A and B are shown apart, each in its own frame.
Chain A
C-alpha cells in the first residue's frame, strides 16, 4: 500500500523528511518497505513543444520533429510515436538524460538523421504499464498546455511526491487508507485532525430508490447501499486526480471509476459504479452464485462460478464478483449517462476464499478481507456521489437505497493503568495513559481506577484489553519500555537424558571424523522407501510443490547419498557425513505417522587424504563397523551389541552388510551400499550405517562403575586355529568368552589368514586371550586349564584345528 507524502501533508504538519517519516511509521505502526519518488534515478527530462515535424525520408514511421525546449534554437528529435502533433507540450529527454530502466539518452543519428534527444511516453519515464492510462498506452504523452518550456516535467506529473510503501499487517487494515494513516500519525505526532469528508448537496430531483432496488443477505454483506447519479459526463479525470491514482499504483480509467478509486484510497471504502442502463429491472442483489453461472470481469476474464462464490446480480445475471471486481457488461463507459454507486461491506472469509479461488487479489478484496470501517460506509458513498457531481457534471439522486444495514456501534473496553503497567513493565500514570487514548481519538471514562475506553469504528481491530495495551505500547514507544529480566521462582534448566544422548552422539561422530549434514525431510517416493528394515507405509503430502519433496523420509541414508552425489559431482571425492533427525513410519490405518529419531553415517572415499607420509585408506566395511562400534561403546549400553550378516536390505551389498543387534533387538545396520544403488545415485563405493536412536535412548544403560586396576600381573595366551570358511569370528569368539572362565578379561582377534599354507576351504584365526585375577597372583595352571577347556569346546563344537 502506497502512501503519498504530499497528500498526508494536506492534513498533518509534518516536520520530518519522507525517509524519517517512513522510519517513524515503521517504529509505531507498520513496516515500511521503501520510500521513493517516481523521479528517482531520472534526470534531464523537460517540457518541450512540438513546433513542426516532417516524415523521415528513409523511414516512414519516423518523424523528424523540431522541439522548443525554451532554448534559443529548437532541438531536432527523431520520434517514432504515432501521435506527434504540432503545438503539443511533450516530455523531452535531453541528450545526457536518464530515463526509465536506467537508460541514458545520447545524441545519435537515426537512419541518417541527427536526433538530439527523445520524446517520451509515460512508460518511458518509468511508469509501470499497469498505471499508464489506456489513452496514453501507445505514443508520447501530452503535458498540460500551460507547462513551462524547459522546466523539469516531474512536478507536472506528480513525480516528486515521495511515496511510502507500507507492508500492512492483517490487524492494521485501518492503515489501508489515507484517513487511517492520517489518524494514526496524528496520534503519533499528537496533532488534532478532522477527516470527515462530507458530501455536497444532492442536485438530482429524483430519489435513488425510484431507479434501483437493493437486497443483501447480511451474512454475505452486512452493509449494502446504493446511490444513483444521473446525467454524468464520462471522460478522463482531471490531471490532479490521475496523478493521485497513478502515484498510488492505480490506473486512471475515467472520471467516474477514478472517483470510486480515489474514495477507496482516501477513506478506505471500496466502491463500485455500474451503468444503470445495464442493470436488468433496476434490481441489484448480493447472493450466492448458482453453480455453472458465468461472469466476465473487468479484466476480461470469463469465470465460471460455484455455489461458494458471492455475486452482485441483477434480475438476470451476475454483474459483479462481490468485494472483488465488477463485471464487464455493466461497467461505466464513455457512453454511460446514469450510474449506480455501490458501497458495501462484504464478509471477509467469503471474500478471501473467492480471491484465492479466482486468483484475483484486488485493492477491494484486500480491504474486505481485513475488514473496513463499518461506520463510514454511507458517508463514503455520499462523498463519492458529491465528487461525481463536481467532476462529471452528474446529478446525484436523493437518498440511498439500503440492501442491508448492520447497526454498528463503537466498542467499549474496560482496562486499568495497573493492568497496562503489569503487562508492559512500565509505570505510566492514569493521566499519561488517558492522554495516549485521547491522542488516538478514543474516549475514556474513568471510574475508580477502571478506565472505560470507547474505540471509534475506524479502529475495528481493537476488541480486547490486550489490543489497547498494544496501542499504549506503540504510541508511548517501545524504546521507552524499560529493560528488565523476569523475577520468578528459580528454575533449573537442563537437558533431558534423550536430548543429552543425542547431543553426545553428534559429538562422538564429529570426533570420529564425520561432518554433520542436514538434508531435507521431504523427498521422493522412491527415496523415502529405501533402506527399510521393516515395512512401512509412506506419508504423502497432499499438494507438494515438486516431486522431489513430496513424501516424508523413512530413512536418513538416501538424503546422505544425495549429499555425497552432490559433492562428488563437484570434485569432492572423500565425503564423510552423518545426520541425526526424524524419520516417519506409518501403519496402514494410521493417519499421522510415528516420528522416530534416527542417526546415520555415510562415508565415500577416505576419512583422511593422502599426505607426504601417509597413504589414504579408502573406507571399507571394517572401517565403518569400527566407527559404529566405537560410537555404540560410548553409550554404555547394558546389553551386548552383536552383528549378524544380512542380505535382506535390497539397497545394501548382500555380502557386506550386518544387522546391528542390541541384545536380541535389531537397532540398525552397517555395510556397503549395493553397487547398483551407488550407481543409481552416481556415487563411488560408499559405506553406511543407520541406527534407531530412540531405541538407543530407551535401552538399559550400564552403571559406569570404577573397577580397581588389578595389582597382580596378567597372563596372555595366543591361540591360533584353522577353521572351516563358514565359521564366523562371532561363533569362535562366543565359545572363547563362554568357556574362558572367571579370569578371562579380554579376547582380541589379531590375525585372519587364508593364503598360502592354509588348506582350501579353511582359514586361520588367531586370538590373544588376556587373563587377570584382581585378588591374587594368577597361576599358570589355572590359565592352562581354562585354555584347555576353550580348546576342547572349539574342537567339539566348531571342529577347529588348534595350531
Chain B
C-alpha cells in the first residue's frame, strides 16, 4: 500500500469514528487520537523519507489536506453535538408562558387630580399661568372683591363655613381673580390664569352635594377680549377634554362677578345629544358657569373697566369626572375606596 493509500484509509476511518461519536468528550478523544503527535497521520508521515524527493511535497500536502478535513469534520461534529445538547437543555427549560407575570406595584392617580391635570395642561398650552390661592380666605376676597358685598342675596347661594366673621373656608377659587388682578402688570401683557383647588360649602353630604369639592377658576383680561373668545376657549377645552364631537352652548345665568353671566352646557355624553334620562331629554348637560368679568370686580381690583375687560369661568372637576365616567355619587371621590380608585389609571 502506498503512503497515500494509507492516508486515505486513515481519513476514511477517522471520518467514521467522528461521525459515530455521541458526545463532546469522546469527540475530543478522537481529536487527540487522530490529530495528535502520536496520531496515525503523524505516524504515517514518518514513512515520507522513504519516498522519492519529488513525491514528498505532494504527499505532504495531501496529508495536510486530510488533517484539515478531519479537523473540520471534528469542529462540525462538535457544533452539532453542542447544539443538540443546548436544544435538549432548552427543551427542559420550557415554561407555561400563560402563567401570570410577576406583580409590579403601581399606584392609581386620583380621578379628580387627573381631570385637574388635564385642564391645567390644556390651559398651560394656551399660555395661561396656574395660580394656587389660599384655602382659608378672607371674606374680603371670597365675597366683597367678587362683587358680593355683605347682605348680598347671592351669598345665600354659597353657604359658607366661617372661622371668624372675616375669615372663612373659600367657597370657590374665584378669589384668585381678584388677587391676580390686583397684582398683574398689564404693561407686560394680558392676565391669563387658572386657579385649581379644593373649595368648601356648608352642605350636608349626599350623592350630589359634598361639603368639599374642587374648582378650577379661569380668567383672561386684556384690552379686547370678547364673549366670542369665551365661547372659543370653552369649546377648545371641551374638545380636548371630551372629544371633538362635543358641542358647547351658552345660556343666560347669574353670577355677581360676571355680567353677562352664562351657564355652559355641553352635548350629553350619555346619549350624544339625542336626549336621555341623564340630560332630562334635552341632549345637553350643564357643566360650568362663566361670563364677562363684572366692571365692579375690575374696578375694585384697581383695573379700569373702560380700558380692560375679559372673561372668567369656573369649572367643577368633580362634576366633569362624574359625567365622564358615569359616577353617580360625589362622595365616592372622597371615601378613597381602593375598589373605586383603582378603576382609573
Query: In whole angstroms, how far apart are the Cα atoms of A612 and B102 in the complex?
Result: 9
Q: Are B334 and A520 in touch, CB under 8 angstroms?
A: yes
Q: Kindly state the separation between the CA atoms of A495 and B163 in the bound complex, as whole angstroms.
A: 31
Complex-state Cα separation, A544 to B103, whole angstroms: 44
Complex Cα–Cα for A519 and B333 (A): 9
B297 CB to closest chain A CB (Å) equals 11
A: residues with CB less than 8 A from B are 23, 26-31, 169-172, 348-349, 352-353, 356, 369-370, 422-426, 464, 466-467, 469-470, 473-474, 478-479, 481-496, 499, 503, 506, 509-522, 539-545, 549, 552, 563, 566-567, 570, 572, 575-578, 581-582, 584, 591-593, 595, 607-609, 611-614
- Known A-B contacts A519-B334, A540-B163, A611-B103; the reply to A470 vs B259 at CB < 8 A is yes
The one of A353, A489, A575 that contacts B338, using a Cβ cutoff of 8 Å: A575
B 78-112 to A, binary, CB cutoff 8 A, 1 in contact else 0: 00000000000000000000011011111111101
B233 at the interface (CB under 8 A from A): yes
Chain A residues with Cβ under 8 A from B338's Cβ?
A: 515, 567, 572, 575
Measured between beta carbons, the chain A residues less than 8 angstroms from B104 are 608
The smallest C-beta distance from B331 to any residue of chain A, in angstroms, reads 10
Chain B neighbourhood of A356, CB < 8 A: 156
> Are B228 and A611 closer than 8 Å at their CB atoms?
no
B254 proximity list for chain A (CB < 8 A): 169-172
Which residues from A are CB-within-8-Å of B134?
595
Is there an interface contact between B226 and A422, defined as CB atoms closer than 8 Å?
yes
A659 CB → nearest B CB, Å: 25
Minimal beta-carbon separation of A611 from chain B (angstroms): 6
Across the interface, do A595 and B110 meet the contact criterion of CB distance under 8 Å? no
Which listed residue (B113, B136, B226) contacts A584, Cβ 8 A? B136
List chain A residues, Cβ under 8 A from B314. none
Q: Is the CB of A515 within 8 A of B103?
A: no
Question: B-side binding surface: helix, strand, loop or mixed?
Answer: mixed
A sample of 25 inter-chain contacts (CB < 8 A) reads A23-B282, A31-B263, A423-B292, A464-B259, A466-B294, A466-B295, A473-B260, A483-B228, A488-B190, A514-B107, A515-B107, A515-B338, A516-B108, A517-B336, A521-B198, A521-B200, A545-B202, A567-B337, A575-B338, A584-B135, A591-B166, A595-B136, A607-B105, A608-B104, A613-B102
- Contact present for A470 and B211 (CB under 8 Å): no
User: Quick check: A478 and B262 within 8 Å, CB to CB?
Assistant: yes
Q: A466-B292, A474-B260, A492-B127 are in contact. Are A521 and B135 (CB under 8 A)?
A: yes
Q: Once the chains bind, are A31 and B253 in contact (CB under 8 Å)? A: yes
CA distance A276 to B164 in the complex (A): 47
Flag the segment in B1-9, B61-69, B244-252 that touches A.
B244-252
Please indicate the chain A residues that have their CB under 8 angstroms from the CB of B203 in the complex: 545
* B20 lies within 8 A of chain A by Cβ: no
Q: CB-nearest residue of chain B relative to A541?
A: B161
Contact of B336 among A349, A486, A566 (CB under 8 A): A566
Contact B228 A481 (CB under 8 A): yes
Q: Is the CB of A494 within 8 A of B341?
A: no
Identify the 10 closest CB pairs spanning chains A and B, nearest first.
Answer: A425-B228, A513-B105, A425-B226, A169-B254, A470-B260, A608-B103, A563-B336, A491-B127, A493-B124, A478-B250
**Are B220 and A510 in contact, CB atoms less than 8 angstroms apart?**
no
Given contacts A483-B228, A517-B110, A518-B336, contact A493 B167 (CB under 8 A): no
Q: Does B235 contact A (CB under 8 A)?
A: yes
- Whether A470 lies near B261 (C-beta < 8 A) is yes
In the complex, chain A residues whose CB is within 8 Å of the CB of B99: 612-613
Contact B167 A591 (CB under 8 A): yes
Sample of 9 further A-B pairs with CB below 8 A, known A483-B232, A516-B108, A591-B166: A26-B251, A31-B253, A488-B190, A510-B106, A522-B161, A540-B163, A541-B162, A549-B211, A608-B105
Known A491-B190, A518-B333; contact A425-B229, beta-carbon cutoff 8 A: yes
Q: Does B16 lie at the interface of the complex (its beta carbon under 8 Å from any beta carbon of A)?
A: no
Q: Are A499 and B130 in contact (CB under 8 A)?
A: yes
Least CB distance from B146 to A in Å reads 14
CB pair A478–B164 under 8 Å, yes or no, is no
A170 to B169, CA, bound (A): 23
| B252→A478 contact, CB < 8 A | yes
Say yes or no for B225: interface residue by CB 8 A criterion: yes
- Contact A499 to B132, CB < 8 A, known contacts A424-B228, A470-B260: yes
CB of B37 within 8 Å of the partner chain: no
Q: Which residues of B contact A577 (CB under 8 A)?
A: 336
Answer yes or no: B224 CB below 8 A from chain A CBs: yes
Please measure, in the bound complex, the distance between the C-alpha atom of A364 and the C-alpha atom of B96, giving whole angstroms.
Answer: 79
A486 touches B102 (CB 8 A): no
Q: Is the CB of A522 within 8 A of B200?
A: yes
Minimum C-beta distance from B254 to chain A (A): 3
Q: Are A478 and B249 in contact (CB under 8 A)?
A: yes
Q: Does B75 lie at the interface of the complex (its beta carbon under 8 Å from any beta carbon of A)?
A: no
- Report Cα–Cα, A494/B163, bound state, in Å: 34
Q: CB-CB < 8 A to A584: which residues of B? A: 135-136
Query: In the complex, which residues of chain A have a beta carbon less than 8 angstroms from the beta carbon of B217?
Result: none
> Nearest chain-B residue to A601 (Cβ)?
B107
Nearest Cβ on chain B to A536's Cβ, whole angstroms: 14
Q: Determine the chain B residues whose CB is within 8 A of the CB of A539 once the complex forms.
A: 136, 163
Is the beta-carbon distance between B129 and A493 smaller than 8 angstroms? yes
CB-based nearest B residue for A28 = B252
Q: How far is the CA of A172 from the CA of B190 in the complex (A)?
A: 33
Q: Which of B125, B203, B341 gathers the greatest number of chain A CB atoms within 10 Å?
A: B341
- Contact status A510-B259, CB under 8 Å: no
Contact of A572 among B189, B232, B339 (CB under 8 A): B339
Is A515 in contact with B341, judged by CB distance below 8 angstroms? yes
Interface 1/0s, chain B 227-245, versus A by CB < 8 A? 1110111011000000000
- B180 interfacial by beta-carbon distance below 8 Å: no
CB pair A511–B127 under 8 Å, yes or no, is: no
Contact of A493 among B128, B228, B292 (CB under 8 A): B128
The distance in angstroms between the C-alpha atoms of A481 and B234, with both chains bound, is 14
B260 close to A486 (CB less than 8 A): no
B175 CB contacts on chain A under 8 angstroms: none
Residues of B within 8 A of A518 (CB): 110, 112-113, 198, 333-334, 336
Check: B335 CB closer than 8 A to any chain A CB: yes
Question: CB-defined interface of B163-175 with A at 8 Å, one 1/0 digit per residue?
Answer: 1101101000000
In the complex, what residue of chain B is closest to A609 when comparing beta carbons? B103
Residues of B within 8 A of A487 (CB): 224
B153 engages A493 (CB within 8 Å)? no
